[in-house]
């Protein structure tokens, strides 16, 4: 299933094609492909080249760790994420390694790494659904995450499946048109709320 973004201005096809499905095909992601996805994340930019990200990854054939990852998700997400071939937790180190000073950019840098991963995935026909619906404390306990690291997102990865496999409420969301705020609401110049002049057509 394809859901191209109805972009108002030209953007790369990989960005138009990327979206977050909940229906996943019963098809594993090969290890070499997974390696390339995380290689893309590896080359994301970060403050002071700290690279403060880590991913806890479980494939469906690793039943123990897959179940552990499902166990930290909220029930709503478990209902569909259990069908994805790969689950992951995206974790960031909150202090700089060189001096233990707080790294306020760590979540931003982790987001950049995950964005690189999703675009690389899209280039290979793989889709990533990122989730805020999980319990960070359960994640910390289940995976023994150190105190100076925090989990910011859960990810489900895989090839898109049939929306008919979802319950009706989720199916409706799966096939609904994609929407976004207009650029005029978030691209500003000079002062807050002042739309950037280059947006005038």
Assigned domain for 6 exists: no
Q: Tell me which residue range forms the domain holding 168.
A: 13-199
CA 157 to chain centre: 9
Indicate whether this model's pTM tops 0.85.
yes
pLDDT in tens, 67-116: 999 999 999 999 999 999 999 999 999 999 999 999 999 999 999 999 99
Split into its structural domains, the chain has a count of 1
H/E run at residue 139: helix 136-143
Q: Which of 201, 177, 174, 199 is nearest to 186 (CA)?
A: 199
> Is there a domain that residue 64 lies in?
yes
Q: Is residue 5, in this structure, part of any structural domain at all?
A: no
Q: Are 135 and 72 in contact (CB under 8 A)?
A: yes
Quote the CA–CA distance of 51 and 92 in Å, as a whole number. 9
* pLDDT given at position 2: 82
159: CATH: 3.40.109.10
Give 52's pLDDT tier (boundaries 50, 70, 90). very high
Residue 124 has pLDDT above 80, yes or no: yes
Q: Give the whole-angstrom CA distance, residue 187 versus residue 39.
A: 31
**Residue 154 belongs to some domain of the structure:** yes
> pLDDT at residue 132 above 80?
yes
4 within a domain of the structure (yes/no): no
């Amino acid at each position: 299933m394809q859901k191209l973004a109805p972009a108002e201005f030209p953007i790369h096809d990989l960005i138009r094609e990327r979206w977050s499905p909940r229906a996943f095909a019963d098809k594993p992601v090969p290890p070499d492909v997974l390696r390339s996805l995380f290689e893309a994340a590896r080359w994301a930019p970060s403050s002071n080249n700290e690279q403060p990200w880590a991913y806890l990854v479980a494939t469906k054939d690793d039943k123990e760790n897959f179940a552990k990852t499902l166990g930290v998700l909220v029930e709503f997400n478990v209902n569909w994420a259990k069908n994805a071939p790969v689950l992951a937790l995206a974790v960031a180190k909150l202090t700089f390694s060189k001096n233990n000073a707080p790294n306020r950019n760590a979540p931003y840098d982790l987001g950049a790494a995950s964005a690189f991963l999703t675009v690389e995935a899209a280039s290979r026909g793989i889709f990533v659904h990122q989730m805020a619906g999980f319990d960070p404390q359960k994640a910390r306990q289940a995976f023994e995450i150190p105190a100076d690291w925090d989990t910011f997102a859960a990810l489900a990865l895989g090839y898109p499946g049939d929306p008919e496999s979802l319950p009706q409420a989720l199916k409706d969301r799966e096939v609904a048109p994609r929407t976004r705020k207009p650029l005029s609401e978030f691209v500003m110049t000079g002062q807050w709320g002042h739309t950037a002049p280059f947006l005038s057509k």
